[in-house]
Amino acid sequence: MSRFIIFTDLDGTLLDYDNYSFEKALPALKLIREKNIPLILCSSKTRTEIEYYRRKLDNRHPFISENGGGIFIPKSYFEFIPSEGSLPIEEDTNYYVIRLGARYADLRKAIEELQNNGFEIRGFGDMTAGELADMANMDIDEAVMAKERNFDEPFVYKGPSRELPHLFSSITQKGFTYTQGRFFHILGNSNKGKAVSVLAALYRRQHGNIRTIALGDSPNDIPMLEKVDVPVLVQKQNGLYEPQVDMPKLVKADGVGPGGWNSALIDLLNKQT
């Protein structure tokens, strides 16, 4: 029997948009623990933010930060030292780190150039922790963690919508890419799908046959959803599904955020395990 591996977005998916709570997902989280299924957090959030939620969830599995920019694998998690082709492996005290994303300093330089070109954008690096906390409904500690970035720069855009294609074109001309979750993001040649593929290959090396599930709610989740066996789309805060997400075998969860996350996983795991 194939081993299940679950990848999940956080904001608006496992976490409620308003209060960042995963209380509505507790029954599915309990079932996942009982079945000993790895749950991989794959988010636009920073390493520090994800580590905060891993502690709250008592999660000790690898995780993917900043829209696929970095893969963090706890030491001794696999029976081998992780490596995947020519990808460089960095090592720190607690993790093997696979960097897929751009250097943050390069992203900040691009943001500043775009601002100088007249685009009305502000990145997280332009905001104080207090400003970010007020804008994103975070407490100050959460905002500080959200600013500790390495691979991806979220930004807000205040200009006319008709100028967005010009902004996106300018980003790509600089050699970067863009995506959208709760915020717009500028990033390098990385995305959640590439990171999921790398990590799934390591799980296959460890366990042989695996079956992958991913859950998300936004355009930045599309690459991740496209790379798994069972893609799951939860409803957004307004009760609707993200219209840009459309792919074969897509499962549409019956519920918003963590409520939909919970019902979809309970249904899938009870049917297929």
Per-residue tens of pLDDT for the chain, all 273 residues: 579 999 999 999 999 988 889 999 999 999 999 999 999 999 999 999 999 999 999 999 999 999 999 999 999 999 988 876 677 788 999 999 999 999 999 999 999 999 999 999 999 999 999 999 999 888 999 999 999 999 999 999 999 999 999 999 999 999 999 998 889 999 999 999 999 999 999 999 999 999 999 999 999 999 999 999 999 999 999 999 999 999 989 999 999 999 999 999 999 998 865
CATH number at residue 168: 3.30.980.20
Q: What pairs with residue 157 in β-bridges? A: 121
Q: Tell the burial category of 225 from Cβ atoms under 10 Å away from its Cβ (0-12, 13-18, 19+).
A: buried
Quote the number of domains for the chain. Answer: 2
Supply the DSSP string of 49-79, one letter for each residue. HHHHHHHHHT--S-EEEGGGTEEEEETTSSS
Q: At what angle do helices 26-34 and 257-272 cross, to 10 degrees?
A: 30
Last residue of a domain, one of 131, 162, 187: 187
User: What's the domain range around 158?
Assistant: 104-187
CA atoms within 13 A on the CB side of 23: 5
With contact defined as beta carbons under 8 Å apart, do 42 and 214 qualify? Answer: yes
Last residue of a domain, one of 158, 187, 216: 187
With contact defined as beta carbons under 8 Å apart, do 196 and 42 qualify? Answer: yes
| Residues 113 and 91 reside in one and the same domain | no
Query: Which of these is catalytic: 9, 16, 217, 221?
Result: 9
**Against a cut of 0.85, is the pTM above it?**
yes
| Residues 228 and 265 reside in one and the same domain | yes
With contact defined as beta carbons under 8 Å apart, do 43 and 9 qualify? Answer: yes
| Residues 95 and 198 reside in one and the same domain | yes
CATH number at residue 46: 3.40.50.1000
Q: What pairs with residue 252 in β-bridges? A: 233
246 noted as active-site residue: no
The encoded tokens of residue 36 equal 């000993």
What 3-state DSSP class applies to 215? strand
Last residue of a domain, one of 166, 187, 208: 187
